Chain A
Amino acid sequence: MDLGLSNKNMPSFTQLKSGDSCEITIDRRIDGEFANKLEIDLLELGKTSVRKITLNMIDCSFICSAGIRVLLQYHRNMKTDHRSLMVSRASTEVDAILEMTGFRESFIEKAH
């Protein structure tokens, strides 16, 4: 079974901006290294006029505690600034980890 282990040469996360919203597609494992890369992306987006960031994690099969810490930190920062950071789509694996850590209800965007 393939765990989809990270490769340092993988390209940056894809960002799709529309108005004051931005969707980031997370299509790989969020291990320590890619948690750092995600943090850099969120930090840069935080400096822009983007008000709403959504993370599409449907093709992400792994998120480590460092990745969850990044989500928690930037979710809090954005909320304090009356902006939002939410997970729009979660894979079964990400959903399980968020539930296990008690963040599922807070981070996953509810369907309208």
Chain B
Amino acid sequence: MNVEFPVTESSAVDACRCLEKFASSISISRKTLFCLDHALAEYLQNLYDHSVAKTSKIDFQFSENKITIVVRDDGLPYNVIEHPPVDTTLPLLDRPVGGLGIHLIRQLMDEVHYSSAGGWNSITLIKINSSGGSGSSQSTENKHSFEH
């Protein structure tokens, strides 16, 4: 599934609406959708807040129980992979307020890749559908039940 839309304050909601539609056409677990929803929303919000991108193009794929989302944008190059890690063990008063969105993207995804070429940035978010209970050891999803 491919979508393209202008980068605006509603981009995160627009992208997640597309994810919702995509997810309804495949079989993925609630906790996998939870991770994709958060990561995609955080990335699109970062685009709007910091990248001065005008256009984003998103490609959703599902293959071999793995969901791949590729987001391309024409904003300023910024490699989220090189962003310094957030120290979540610092005392509350010492915690910086920035970087949490990128931290969440890294925590929630199994793989994150970035490239930039020809005036377009591309980030690839990969999540293994963990309906069987398996998943990334980095993700806290294994510690939580998403059954309601």
Contacts and interface: CB of A to CB of B under 8 A. Distances in A.
Contacts, number: 89
B104 interface: yes
B25 to A, nearest CB: 11
Contact of B20 (A1, A92, A95): A1
B45 A5 contact: no
B104 A100 contact: yes
A84 B24 CA distance: 41
Contact of A5 (B9, B16, B38): B16
Q: Which of A1, A6, A62, A97 gathers the greatest number of chain B CB atoms within 10 Å? A: A1
Q: Is the interface of B mostly helix, strand, loop or mixed?
A: helix
B38 A75 contact: no
A40 interface: no
Interface string B1-45: 000000001001100110110011000001001100110011001
Q: Is the interface of A mostly helix, strand, loop or mixed?
A: helix
Interface string A25-46: 0000001110000000000000
B117 interface: no
A51 B95 CA distance: 24
Interface stretch (B52-60, B68-76, B86-94, B121-129): B86-94
Interface residues of A, number: 30
Interface in A44-65: 61-62, 64-65
A99 B143 contact: yes
B12 A93 contact: no
A93 B19 CA distance: 18
A102 B89 contact: yes
Given A5-B16, A31-B12, A69-B100, A106 B92 contact: yes
Interface string A74-98: 0110000000000000001101110
A95 B144 contact: yes
B146 A3 contact: no
